[in-house]
Structures are given as structure tokens and as C-alpha cells.
Amino acid sequence: MLFRYKLLLPWCLTLILGACHSTKTDPLMGTAANPLPVESYWLTESAGGVMLDPQTSGLTLWRNGRLVTIADGSAHESQVLRLIVLDAQQFQVEKKYPMVVAPEILQGCFAEYMSKRPDLEALVVDPDDDRVFYTVTEDASRYSLSPACAEKYRQTGSTEYPTLLVRLALDDVAEQVTVTHVRPLQYSAAMQVGNHPNDGIEGMSFGSGRTLYLGLEKDALFQPRIFSVELNSKFWNSVEFARVTDEQLLLPVFSDQIPHPINALTYVQQGDNGWLVAAARNDNELWLVDPEKKNSTRRIKLSFLAKTSDTKQQCAEFTAMNNYSIEGLAGGNGVLWLVNDPWKENYQKNIQCQADKNRYDAMAPLLSQIPIETLFTNP
């Protein structure tokens, strides 16, 4: 894979070891001294109190302006294997739909993983059917396949246990969600994805059609990547590998060998152009990526402010956060919504107001919003 627009010789020398990545990036919008401030509000349960450690790891816009999120495999038991519907205006959990696994999957290679505590990352609703959702698995390092299944799905091009794309179907009458299909993803060796069990796909978004974009945290060269699959009408007829496409989008290229992962994706329309919005969690940045590769990627620095729960007026109304950790993005109706996945080793560093200590201790998430227009006008 060759560079486009900009040749970075030191990185192209890595062709001996792996692929180069396309890059065309505008200067960073906002700086550490002058980032775009983002006010954030605690998500609460419908019965009261903040959400207990849901490790919210995806976000999608749904019916009537509501949002839906999902928990990863490290969340509290009360949150896993559920679709969690949020009232975005009230910053509150509206409903939780439990997941069940279809008998066909329970008889297949991935039964143990999918029925216990799968590490579900990212969430997107089908653009043509709001009863259907898609998610993807990440860390499966605690599980193994049978010898026959391991041989069948050996050539993943990435981790030993394959990454699984998962189809979910909501039954409104039964008020539950069924895991109807799973299909493993396959990367070519030339893509140099590397074997990173907990640094896999963490962002998903449809574009303007049936192309499903997949945001990878890091590859073998510590670079974030965006791949895709075409979710056509025959996609789920097979249980064989689904081969991903390298979109070769114009992402930033980093030479520090420090992860700058993509942890969330969504698609927004601005004027005549459609953009993928990627969350670079570790950098507190949003990247505006042109799926047509006609425009350079724009990087936007963010600063998160948490609404305090102080009732004695001893704290400011909002306090600056040390670590937010974006893991869900959803764009629509002129608004970009963001949700965080509390990073357990860093979350308590946010405590400035003692009234909020219990919330940070509970790993409670926050919901934020940015007018989409702001992303394209921020100086």
C-alpha cells in the first residue's frame, strides 16, 4: 500500500515488515491550550441512581431520537448481554432488552463465547430495518475453539480466536433481543493487522449505503485503521469467513509507536458531503474522515467537563475531566452524541468534587453532545 499525497520515508521503509498507510490530514483544530469544550451529563437508571459500571462500548441513534448502547465483557453483571435504550433528553436509561442466543449458534463453533460473556464492542442499527442491530466481538483470549473449529477458522489474519460480526434482532412483543447470526472476519496477511486480542474493532458505522465501516484500534505498526464489509442480502447466508476490505482512508500516521486507537465511528452528512466521524479515545480527539478520500482528515481536540452532583454549591457546576475515554458516537438530527467507557485505572483521576466520588467509584458513564455544525466551523 503506497502513501497518497504525502510520502513519509521512514514509514515506507517498513514495507519490509508491513504496509504503509494513506494520510492526508489538516492541522489539528484546537490545541491542548484551546480545545473544544464538551459538557457531559451523568447517565442514570430509570429507577434512580447512576448506571453501575456498564462499560458502555457503542452508541447508535434509534427510534424517535433515542439512543441505544451496549456493554462490553468487563461490565457489571447487571449490564452485560443487553441492549440499553437511552432517553437522550433526560440522560436516563429507558429500557433494557435482554439478549438470548439462537439455537443454531449454540450448536456451532462460537457457542461458549457467545453464551457466556462476549466482549461486545460497537453498535449500529440497520439503516433499512430498525429492529436489527449489529455489534462485533473483541477480546476472546479467555476462550478456545474445539480442534475442528480452530482448524476451520485458523486463518484469521489477526487474533487466534476470530473477530465475530454479530447480528441482533429485536422482538418488540417479547421485549428481548436474539443473537441470530455470527460470522468471523478475515484479514489478508498483507494488511498487517497483528495479533492484538484487546485492540481490535471498536467502531462501526454504515456509510450512505450498505457498506459497514469497521474501525480498528491498532495494527501491527501501531496505526489505527478503517476496514469495511458489504452487508448485502446474502451476507448472513454463510458461516465462512467474511473478508474485509482495506478502505485505505486518509488517516493520520503516527511514528511514536504509541497507540492512537479508533474507539468509535459514526457517519454524518454535512452539506453535500458525507463524513465518517472517528473517536481517537486516547487523544481526546475526533477525526472527520472523508470516505471518498477527496478531503483531508480534520482532527478536533476536545476537553470534557462533567456536570457535578454537588447540592451545597461547594463545587463549580462543571469540572474538567482528566480522562473521558470516548467509546460511542452517534450522529443525526444535527447532533453528535458521545458516550464514554470509564477506563478503570484512570477514571478516579477525574475526582475534583467529592460529591461526585461515588459516581466515579461506580464507573458511571456520561453522555455528551456537540452540534454537528460546530465540527466544521471550529477554528
Residue 39 to residues 156, 250, 305, 317, 351: CA-CA distances in angstroms? Answer: 41, 29, 5, 10, 16
Instruction: Concatenate the DSSP letters of all residues of 55-83 into one string.
Output: -EEEEEE-GGG-EEEEE-TTS-TTTSSEE
123 domain residue, yes or no: yes
Closest by Cα among 365, 368, 371, 370 to 55: 365
Number of domains in the chain: 1
Angle at 226 between CA 224 and CA 230, to 5 degrees: 160
Q: Please give the grid coordinates belonging to residue 248.
A: 485505505
Phi, psi of 214 (to 5 degrees): -125, 120
Q: Is the pLDDT of residue 340 over 80?
A: yes
Q: Which helix (H) or strand (E) holds 103?
A: helix 103-106
In this prediction, residue 22 carries a pLDDT of: 64
State which residues form the domain around 118. 24-377
How do beta strands 242-243 and 225-230 pair?
unpaired
167 domain residue, yes or no: yes
Give the pLDDT band (50/70/90) at residue 31.
Answer: low
Q: Spell out the residues 6+ positions from residue 268 whose beta carbon is closer than 8 angstroms to its own.
A: 274, 275, 277, 331, 332, 336, 372, 375
Task: List Cβ<8 Å contacts ≥24 apart for 222-225.
Answer: 222/254, 222/256, 222/257, 222/258, 222/259, 222/260, 223/21, 223/251, 223/253, 223/254, 223/260, 224/251, 224/252, 224/260, 224/261, 224/262, 224/278, 224/280, 225/21, 225/191, 225/193, 225/251, 225/262
The pTM of this model reads: 0.92
7 domain residue, yes or no: no
Contact 281, 325 (CB under 8 A): yes
Please state, rounded to an integer, the average pLDDT across all residues of the chain: 91
Q: What whole-number percentage of the chain has pLDDT above 90?
A: 86
Average pLDDT over residues 69-97: 96
290 domain residue, yes or no: yes
4 domain residue, yes or no: no
List pLDDT tens digits, range 19-28: 455 666 665 5
Residue with cell 429500557: 95
Distance CA 62, CA 57 (A): 16
Q: Please give the grid coordinates belonging to residue 226.
A: 478503517
Beta bridge partners of 177: 99, 170
- Quick one: how far is CA 265 from the chain centroid? 6
In this prediction, residue 30 carries a pLDDT of: 53
2 domain residue, yes or no: no
Closest by Cα among 111, 102, 184, 189 to 144: 111
Assign residue 69 the CATH number of its domain.
Answer: 2.115.10
8 domain residue, yes or no: no
- Quick one: how far is CA 160 from the chain centroid? 22
List pLDDT tens digits, range 99-115: 999 999 999 999 999 99
**Range name among 54-58, 179-183, 257-261, 341-345 with the lowest pLDDT average:** 257-261
Residues composing the chain: 379
3 domain residue, yes or no: no
